[in-house]
Amino acid sequence: MTFGSSAPVEFSGDVKIKCVCYECNHGWMSDLENRIKPNVSGMVHDLSVSLTIEDQRGIALWAVKTAMVLQGAIAQGRTRFYTTQECEQLRVSSLIPERTLIWVGRLSESALFAAGTHIWQQDNLGVTHSGHAATFIVGYLIFQVLSIRVGPQYYGKAARTVCRDGPWDDSLFGIYPPNQTVESVYETGLLPQP
């Protein structure tokens, strides 16, 4: 595999990222993956599934964990967006960082992809806030995780991140923060039928 190449690279087998310890990888991370596997496996294979609020929360925890691991794998000496404290809070207390939004969607063809990037957002007062956006594709399932870090002047205050309207509104469904049970991700009309 050549990094930096624009040509697609195909491979099969396990993907191993060496930025977590053995105990975490085979402990709480494995438990979390086993917890979400029944729902995620169906969506990865392009099957319609029902997601309760608890299912959405489990998938959201897994998505944030995956965003943190991806960031750790690609940071390599650079400053990470997710702090050690945020990673520890996710591990110990299942706390997703404040001001995080997570979506799932259906891709029209099977793929494997992961990317993350730092972003900046300017509020209506002209204050710039940093953020991190991560996208993962596994089979027919796509996840997007967006976390925004606000300045101290906003601590303890409600702040709302609004995403620009676009075609993704018809193909992505917000699972975090969860606010409703999804009877079937394909039957809601939010995700196209296969």
Domain assignments of the chain as residue spans, ordered by start: 22-176
Tokens matching residue 3? 């990094």
pTM of the complete model = 0.77
Provide the H-helix boundaries in 27-131.
Answer: 28-44, 53-75, 84-93
d(Cα 24, Cα 64) in Å, to the nearest integer? 15
The percent of residues in the chain predicted with pLDDT above 70, rounded, is 71
pLDDT digit string (tens) for 150-182? 877 777 766 666 666 766 666 788 899 886 665
pLDDT digit string (tens) for 33-47? 999 998 899 999 998
pLDDT digit string (tens) for 35-86? 999 889 999 999 888 888 899 999 999 999 999 988 877 666 677 889 989 9
Helix (H), strand (E) counts: the chain: 4, 3
DSSP helix/strand/coil, 91: helix
Identify whether the C-beta of residue 49 lies closer than 8 Å to the C-beta of residue 106: no
Handedness of CA 25, 26, 31, 34 (dihedral sign): positive
Q: Which distant-in-sequence residues (6+ apart) come within 8 Å of 9 by Cβ?
A: 1, 2
- What pLDDT does residue 3 have? 36
Matching residue, tokens 């996840």: 143
